[in-house]
Amino acid sequence: MIYLETPKKLRGFIEQAHGIAVNVFRPISRKYDSLEHTYPKELDILAAIIDGVNAGGASRASAAQLAKDAAPAETGGRTKNGGNLATVLAMMELCWGDVGLALTVPRQGLGNAAISAVGTEEQKAKYGAQWISMAITEPGAGSDSAAIRSTARLDGDEWVLNGEKIFVTAGDRSDALVVWASLDPSLGRAAIKSFLVPRNAPGLKLQRLDHKLGIRASDTATFLLEDCRIPRENILGSADIDTSKSFAGAMKTFDNTRPVVAAMACGVARAALERAREILGRAGLLTGDPRTPWVGSHLEAELARLEAEVDVARLLTMKAAWMADNRVPNSTEASMAKAKAGRTVTEVTLRCVELCGSCGYDETELLEKWARDAKILDIFEGTQQIQMLVVARRLLGKTSGELR
């Protein structure tokens, strides 16, 4: 049975994450929003603390811990609250502080989650302590990952990769990339595989860093792969092409990472609502009991409605993470959580800016920044529209070719 309250064993850990948000992230949030592409040195100490906690084997949350927990059969049939749930709960707190800074904590990249999901034990041992970014999107392949045109061919004991990758989060700061490329474009989705590409690999070139609307504390890079050579063993998973299985192995990563992005959205939305309540309360505009909004003003009823939307997104996110911890297929729930949370955070942050009037638009207020940060959370790791397609296909039993 699933229980959607915060597990008792994780509460102390969640409080620590909230402490980091309050004492580390919030004080430097505006600073690195203004200093785009400047690495936040303050995060080095935080990364060292996370490494120490993980090495000590305590309850922890990190990209590298996703999908590592035992199945119910290995725990006497009991439900398990493991690394996936711990990660999303911690991410909610960290992104309550600052989502851009949360995305740029060393060794917590989405590529680390990919290695955790489909990497071999040797790959995990070799790259687990490194900072790994994810390189999927291409100029001609945005939301449709199956449209990837980057190629990989085997030349002796090396893979040779060619292509261009855009919107690589933490690309300039990471130690390696997980690059998606096709072994044979004529075979479609089934030929798409993921590869570990060290930043010093010959033929890998950082083309540019992008200037963005939000999450400016996190760098976003474009890479060119021109006859880029990596060792044969750097493929994630099997090199065999099975046209009957599409590219489910590569997509498995998303089942773990989409709830994490949903958690980011929940954290930002909650921060905006709490700040809006503070601003409006200080102005004397909230006079009713928040537990009974139906007897208060329209403003109070609107805040209550937005809080209900955030609660729904949070519970969907926790459910998707819990399912991953217990080895229950969660592709549908992961996409539901991502779609709901992405839509909710954009609505909530913009509405809070609007409700707070001039205070909401002021650059001395974090509400303005959160409204800018929110938009990407509805886009990356699969847009809201793509998530709705995934959900519809699974509920209706349709293939991607049948329902587009």
The residue count of the chain comes to 404
In contact, 91 and 121? CB cutoff 8 Å: no
Q: Could you tell me the two tokens for 276?
A: 């809006």
> In the Cβ-directed half-sphere of 269, how many Cα atoms lie within 13 Å?
30
Contacts of 87 (CB under 8 A, 6+ apart): 61, 62, 63, 65, 66, 260, 263, 321
Contacts of 360 (CB under 8 A, 6+ apart): 276, 279, 352, 353, 354, 367, 368, 371
- Distance CA(345)–CA(333), nearest Å, equals 18
Query: Of the listed 15, 74, 381, 402, which one is catalytic?
Result: 381
- Does the annotation count 381 as an active-site position? yes
Instruction: Tell me the residue type at 87.
Output: T
Instruction: Write down the number of H helices and E strands in the chain.
Output: 13, 8
Over the range 51-73, which residues count as b (16 or more CB within 10 Å of their CB) and which as e?
eebbeeeebbbbbbbbbebeeee
- Distance CA(404)–CA(390), nearest Å, equals 10
The set of catalytic residues is 381
